């Protein structure tokens, strides 16, 4: 008690404020009143903290969005630097050591294995890259591209996409009228093997195959990367850059400087169609063709080893041009529509993407060819009976299982109408063909011009602004589109794009290949409207992966906000009845390499070119080489040595071994002839095409 009294005596009242004329008694009364109030608010003054400390605690307890962002960025950066440090400190042999501990000893890379067998470089090798995998660099640009001379706009690090995205889109786009350069812009393909060895640092395209070929003696004097501007139509690569002439000259030079040994050409993806165009161009008389004569290919080409070739097109091209989507984009769009559809942060991502890609005429080369004869109609398709299981592909027989009592129960597979490439609504995709009431769209009157109602629409030009509400409704009322009506659909929704494309590409089936009209270059990349070269000793391989669900048909819906938006989108909510259904996220999946269905990759070599046919009058030998997909066993294995995916297959050991053997002189029979895991031969028999 005495201590408390002493502490109270030591506490002195606060000094009066200067200039205060009131007397001391008034101060005392006010202090007493304040004391009473404090006593009421704070029942136990000895247990409570001083007001200054309490205010500090309250200030510390506040957590703003800036604090959260800084904390998140700090954690990400710290984790990244830690992982980077561990990766650089890790011995180079550690990933292989861990992989071998899990899976057993790894086999030698194909180049090492075949070097031990005594194989040596023999035939010169020509690589033909596909769409998007070849680098493009800037030679002339607008003011916003200052400092980017001869820097990669495509491939490499893509750093300038993040720094100046709209400027990048402007320079990557082509002229809407000519399909060539815009005024004041020159973007050109990177040359040499570095043009497509890596797409971005660490993501190989041709690099692994080049390294393995080098093991048996190949180098730049007997290898050539036929780089080209993959945005242009095939004939325009010659018109603008003389690329086809350069390929012709380089092949002639390589053959002449390698003892007269004919070249082995290895195209990938869209490069398959590009080289198909080249083989007709080089034979055709100038000025339209290269003037090499009808025996040029026979003299200069030993084999064409096509990897992942979209000979008959890909359904993915339909979705890409129709709504700038694929399966993964559709799922992302459903989860976060604000990021891709709206004006969020001024991005307008999908609309800018559509504005750019619709100027790339090459994309139209991959629209499905052959119509309903190849791809099927409303009530049939060659793949009828395909079962969407990860490890099993079905026959046309129904499955038999057992119920809980052990009695056999017949389980019929879910019917899939792959021939309906675009359906508006899941009910339309599944309904019997006789129940679908289609309202003709081709002559429909287009409605009001959407671009007039919102001037910002013109900044992300697509022809949907000119389609209007009337045209949008006419498309959806047609309900189901087959490969035969897809071309008419694009002529309706994107007439300017198709007007350019129709000059360079065709999608039909020739009735009479001797008709002089098929001498025009627009038919040269369609294997159903042209003949193979007169080269009976030339071999053609179709090499592709199988065992991966691959996009085949789509369920669409109208976009909820069509004005200044892409009015159609994949209905990601459309799902099949069970986990084995072919319908996933609005997309019907078939067998393929994740990008190209088996039907497109395999049919020509399995049937239409097999033996002497009207498409292969000289009887060049054809082989189907399929590679069953097997994912990597662990993360340290990278993209896998048995992958069948569209790009990852370039690192597949079995495929590389086949190619190296062919380059070293082996024939198709010597590497084993056909190697088939899918039902491509059975599906080919269902296609009623005059051969």
Q: Choose, from 229, 341, 361, 593, the residue flagged as catalytic.
A: 593
Q: Choose, from 300, 504, 629, 646, the residue flagged as catalytic.
A: 646
Asked if 423 and 429 count as a contact pair (C-beta separation under 8 A), the reply is yes
488 is catalytic: no
Could you tell me where the DSSP H helices lie in 159-224?
159-163, 165-172, 207-215
- Cα(617)–Cα(398) distance, integer angstroms: 40
646 is catalytic: yes
CA 285 to chain centre: 36
What b/e sequence results for 541-579 when a residue is b if at least 16 CB atoms lie within 10 Å of its CB, and e otherwise?
bbbbbbbbbbbbbbbbbbbeebebbbbbbbbbebebeee
Which residues are registered as beta bridge partners of 454?
none
Any residues with CB less than 8 A from the CB of 615 and at least 6 apart, and which?
513, 527, 528, 530, 531, 532, 604, 608, 609, 691
Q: How is 582-607 classified by DSSP, letter by letter?
A: SEETTEEEEEEBSSSBHHHHHHIIII
Nearest to 96 by CA among 644, 638, 639, 631: 638
Identify the residue whose tokens are 């002497």: 612
Asked if 550 and 417 count as a contact pair (C-beta separation under 8 A), the reply is no
Q: Choose, from 173, 233, 269, 525, the residue flagged as catalytic.
A: 269
In degrees and rounded to multiples of 5, residue 120 shows phi and psi of -135, 160
Helix, coil or strand: residue 439: coil
First to last CA, the chain: 115
Asked if 310 and 601 count as a contact pair (C-beta separation under 8 A), the reply is yes
Asked if 142 and 164 count as a contact pair (C-beta separation under 8 A), the reply is no
Nearest to 599 by CA among 677, 529, 684: 684
- Cα(127)–Cα(105) distance, integer angstroms: 31
342 is catalytic: no
- Cα(256)–Cα(172) distance, integer angstroms: 37
Catalytic machinery residues: 269, 593, 646
């Amino acid at each position: 008690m005495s201590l408390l009294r002493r502490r109270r005596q030591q506490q002195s009242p606060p000094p009066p404020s200067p200039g205060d004329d009131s007397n001391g008694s008034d101060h005392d009364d006010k202090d007493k009143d304040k004391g009473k109030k404090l006593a009421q608010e704070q029942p136990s003054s000895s247990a409570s903290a001083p007001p200054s400390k309490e205010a500090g605690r309250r200030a510390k307890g506040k957590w703003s969005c800036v604090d959260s962002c800084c904390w998140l960025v700090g954690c990400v950066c710290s984790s990244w630097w830690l992982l980077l440090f561990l990766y650089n400190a890790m011995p180079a042999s550690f990933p292989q050591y861990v992989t071998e501990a899990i899976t057993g000893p790894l086999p030698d890379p194909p180049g090492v294995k075949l070097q031990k067998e005594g194989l040596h470089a023999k035939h010169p090798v020509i690589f033909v890259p596909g769409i998007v995998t070849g680098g493009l660099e800037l030679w002339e640009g607008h003011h916003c591209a200052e400092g980017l001379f001869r820097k990669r706009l495509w491939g490499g690090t893509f750093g300038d996409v993040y720094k100046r995205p709209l400027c990048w889109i402007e320079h990557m786009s082509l002229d809407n009228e000519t399909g060539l350069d815009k005024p004041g812009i020159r973007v050109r393909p990177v040359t040499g093997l570095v043009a497509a060895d890596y797409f971005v640092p660490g993501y190989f395209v041709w690099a692994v195959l080049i390294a393995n070929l080098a093991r048996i003696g190949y180098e730049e004097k007997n290898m050539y990367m036929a780089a080209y501007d993959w945005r242009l139509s095939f004939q325009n690569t010659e018109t603008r850059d003389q690329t086809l002439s350069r390929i012709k000259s380089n092949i002639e030079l390589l053959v002449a400087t390698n003892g007269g040994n004919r070249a082995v050409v290895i195209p990938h993806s869209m490069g398959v169609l590009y080289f198909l165009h080249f083989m007709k161009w080089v034979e055709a008389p100038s000025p339209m063709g290269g003037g090499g004569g009808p025996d040029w290919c026979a003299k200069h080409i030993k084999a064409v080893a096509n990897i992942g070739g979209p000979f008959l097109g890909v359904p993915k091209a339909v979705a890409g041009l129709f709504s700038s989507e694929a399966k993964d984009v559709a799922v992302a769009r459903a989860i976060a529509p604000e990021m891709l559809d709206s004006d969020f942060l001024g991005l307008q991502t999908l609309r800018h993407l559509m504005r750019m890609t619709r100027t790339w005429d090459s994309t139209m080369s991959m629209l499905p060819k052959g119509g309903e004869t190849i791809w099927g109609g409303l009530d049939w398709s060659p793949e009828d009976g395909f079962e969407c299981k990860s490890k099993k592909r079905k026959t046309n027989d129904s499955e038999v299982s057992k119920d809980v009592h052990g009695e056999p129960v017949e389980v019929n597979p879910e019917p899939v109408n792959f021939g309906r490439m675009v359906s508006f609504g899941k009910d339309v995709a599944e309904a019997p063909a006789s129940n679908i009431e289609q309202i003709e769209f081709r002559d429909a009157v287009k409605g009001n011009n959407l671009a007039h109602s919102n001037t910002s629409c013109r900044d992300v030009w697509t022809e949907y602004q000119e389609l209007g509400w009337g045209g949008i409704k006419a498309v959806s009322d047609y309900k189901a589109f087959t490969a035969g009506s897809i071309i008419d659909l694009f002529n309706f929704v994107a007439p300017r794009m198709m007007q350019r494309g129709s000059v360079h590409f065709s999608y039909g089936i020739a009735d009479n290949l001797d008709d002089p009209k098929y001498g025009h270059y627009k038919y040269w990349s369609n294997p159903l409207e042209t003949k193979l070269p007169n080269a009976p000793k030339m071999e053609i391989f179709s090499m592709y992966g199988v065992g991966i669900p691959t996009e085949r048909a789509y369920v669409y819906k109208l976009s909820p906000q069509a004005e200044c938006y892409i009015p159609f989108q994949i209905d990601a909510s459309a799902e099949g009845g069970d986990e084995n259904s072919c319908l996933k996220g609005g997309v019907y999946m078939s067998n393929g390499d994740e990008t190209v269905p088996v039907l497109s990759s395999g049919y020509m070599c399995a049937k239409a070119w097999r033996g002497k046919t009207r498409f292969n009058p000289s009887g060049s030998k054809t082989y189907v080489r399929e590679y069953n997909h097997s994912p990597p066993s662990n993360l340290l294995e990278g993209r896998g040595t048995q992958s069948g995916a569209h790009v990852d297959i370039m690192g597949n050991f079995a495929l590389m071994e086949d190619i190296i053997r062919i380059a070293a002189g082996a024939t198709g029979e010597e590497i084993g002839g056909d190697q088939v895991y899918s039902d491509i031969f059975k599906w080919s028999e269902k296609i009623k095409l005059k051969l």
